[in-house]
Structure 1
Amino acid sequence: MTLRLSDDEAAALRRRAELEERSMQEVARQAVREYVENHSRVELLDEVLDEELPRYAEALERLGR
């Protein structure tokens, strides 16, 4: 895989890597892992809510009164 970054993106990544005393590749790989983890959690939560909320809709409506 090849990742093409704009000059500004590459410079920002380089600065971040230097600050953390890590390679640009390490910083980019960590960012990808975090992105995938965070978005996977949100999608899972959305899926659970879509499946479970209808089951409790009547109870939630009564509680809201």
Structure 2
Amino acid sequence: MRLPEEMQAALKRRAEVEDRSMHTAALGAVERGLAVEADREAVRRLGAKYAATHTDLLRRLGE
């Protein structure tokens, strides 16, 4: 994976702070990013589900 210079430097600093290889630090960052996006998608799905199920209640709360 090619990274812009600034990201490469930040990754190198992070890896040094964590006493890990740059490869391991990059994998961890990607893993965390994917987990955050999966959580956001779950919240969006649940929000849509409950909005559809409780349309009347939500309308009344908005009044």
What interval of TM-score do these two structures reach, taking the shorter chain for normalisation? 0.7 to 0.9
Aligned to 2:7: 9
CA distance in 1, matches of 2:17, 2:23: 14
Confirm whether residue 34 of structure 1 aligns to residue 38 of structure 2.
no
Q: How many residues align?
A: 63
The amino acid that maps onto 1:28 is: A
Higher mean C-alpha deviation, range 46-55 or range 19-28: 46-55
TM-score, length-scaled by structure 1: 0.82
Equivalence for 1:24: 22
Q: What is the CA RMSD across the aligned residues, in angstroms?
A: 1.4
The answer on 1:52 being equivalent to 2:50 is: yes
Structure 2, gaps ≥5 residues long: none
Relative to the length of structure 2, the TM-score reads 0.84
Long gaps (5+) in structure 1: none
Post-superposition shift, 1:63?
Answer: 4.0
